[in-house]
Chain A
Amino acid sequence: MVHFGAYLFQLLHYFLISSGMLKKYRVLPLHKLQCLAIVVDSGEAVDTLRIRNLLRWLSSIGVKNVILYDMEGVLKRSESSLRRWLDLTLTFYDSSPLPNQDKMSLEFLSYSDGKEAIAKAASFLCSKYLEDNNLMGETREPVLSESDIAEALRIVGCSGPEPELLLVFSPIRCHLGFPAWRMRYTEIVHMGPLKSMNYGAVIKAIYDLSKKQQNHGMLLNLPPGVSIIILPT
């Protein structure tokens, strides 16, 4: 009963957000959101209509970079049609397109861009190591670093930004194998199944991110006005 009451309250909250009645959610601060990842259960990823709706929402909010992920690559297979649709939508329905306004960029990922990609990167590095040894005619000890793996992932075509926020549309609370290398400090929000997706819930997740303060494990007490920028490795 308590859970049901909380659920109803949450729905009402989302309704008030999406109807614009709650002032603080009207203008979303997007300074912390360079990249947003959407994880969809593969069983639901076939629902192109809902995916399109979600993309329309994100575009209207002003999100600039979106990663679409599902394990089995259902979204990847719909990539060209989704891109075409998005171009048309932004061309015809954007009420006031600004000159030179960046379009929302899309990246499509599946399971093969995660663990399989790291295996490919490791294979590439080891082949290169053997090659270099042959060229030099001597056997050096292999030494690998994070930046070596990151560079190898770029070479095998599986690198990209680390999203600040990951929205999981799935019946289960699980990131479903989203590429491990790209989610060290990503905020993960479970949105429930795609069929019950809610505009207010998306707005709230983005708003909550803007209020987050991450210390990356350091717990430094800095004087007011001083901040630390963590550069991506």
Chain B
Amino acid sequence: MEPPEAALVPFPPGLTPELMPRHVAFIMDGNSRWAKERGLPTSAGHEAGYRSLREIVRLSSYWGIKVLTVFAFSSENWLRPKTEVDFLMRLFEGVIRENLEDFKRQGIRLCIIGDATKLPPSLQKLAMEAAEVTRENAVIELLVAVSYSGRSDIVQACQKIAQRVKDGTLEPADITEAVIEEELVTNCIINSPYPDLLIRTSGELRLSNFLLWQSAYSELYFSKSLWPDFGEAEYVDALSSFQQRQRRFGLRT
């Protein structure tokens, strides 16, 4: 199944459809800096960042990428000024509400990952509703990491495992990395649970506590563009770089 408008978007020259990554992850960095450089409030940067995300989702679904995971809000971001945090929570809610019909129509399966307990109750409810409504969609899976941290993901997986041990359905001796993988929040992904390509914008060269476990074999691509400036040309560059490198896995994958 492909999105209804896919035929209208030409496949970028220089890219090979067969070599496209199945799962791309983004650390969407640079919204605040983008706004600051233009003398705009931080909120304007986040709104511009949302427009960038919408375009990347559109292109990804046209180009046959099956999973997109984006780092929207980290556990550490709760320490930002309250006005900014409140604005972001309202923005997330508005974006989901505004796009839910489009998600259904375009075959986008939405899943919010992270520590939902910290989110405003209205956003928690909406996220669950959106996940339920788009559950059968199969064009592209969009995972939005909100209040997420890679370490916390590992901790909550171990917590669930401890619960299984308590319930008597698992022996401590039987805990392996495969058992942990079953309990990570990315386990909701149907297609490719781990990113083939992880892109970070704004010139920073670190994972910042994002998908620490899942990115072991991800091709890392660091773009100097700030997230609101990251568009089709930059995305094609990242995908070209990915395709040029012969993927070599180690002993285990």
Interface residues of A (CB under 8 A from B): 41-42, 71-72, 111, 114-116, 118-119, 121-127, 129-130, 139, 141-146, 148-149, 171-178, 180-181, 183-190, 214, 216-220
Contact = CB atoms under 8 A, between A and B. Distances in A.
B164 to A, nearest CB: 9
Contacts of B97: none
A183 B165 CA distance: 29
SS of A interface (majority): loop
Nearest to A173: B220
Nearest to A208: B205
Given A42-B250, A115-B180, A185 B220 contact: no
B106 interface: no
Contact of A188 (B161, B207, B252): B207
Nearest to B84: A219
A177 B173 contact: no
B80 interface: yes
A129 B207 CA distance: 32
A111 B180 contact: no
A116 B152 CA distance: 18
B151 A173 contact: no
Contact of A187 (B177, B206, B217, B218): B206
Given A145-B155, A174-B217, A118 B177 contact: yes
A181 B158 CA distance: 13
5 contacts: A114-B216, A143-B159, A146-B151, A177-B217, A218-B77
A42 B74 CA distance: 33
Contact of B158 (A115, A149, A173, A187): A149
A220 B205 CA distance: 20
A137 B87 CA distance: 49
Nearest to B213: A180
A105 B208 CA distance: 26
B165 A142 contact: yes
B175 A126 contact: yes
Contacts of B1: none
A127 B207 contact: no
List the 6 closest pairs (A to B, CB-CB), nearest first: A217-B76, A142-B162, A180-B212, A71-B250, A126-B172, A177-B216
Given A122-B175, A189-B205, A217 B77 contact: yes
B54 interface: no
Given A188-B207, A217-B208, A180 B150 contact: yes
Contacts of A177: 216-217, 250, 252
A122 B215 contact: no
Nearest to A179: B212
B172 A123 contact: yes
Contacts of B177: 115-116, 118-119
A219 B32 contact: yes
B205 A115 contact: no
Contacts of A127: 172
B158 A144 contact: yes
B32 A183 contact: no
A217 B219 contact: no
Interface string B195-234: 0000000000111110011011111110000000000000
Contacts of A116: 177
Interface stretch (B5-13, B62-70, B134-142, B240-248): B240-248
Given A127-B172, A180-B216, 11 more contacts: A111-B252, A118-B158, A119-B175, A139-B166, A141-B166, A149-B154, A172-B246, A174-B218, A183-B207, A183-B212, A186-B206
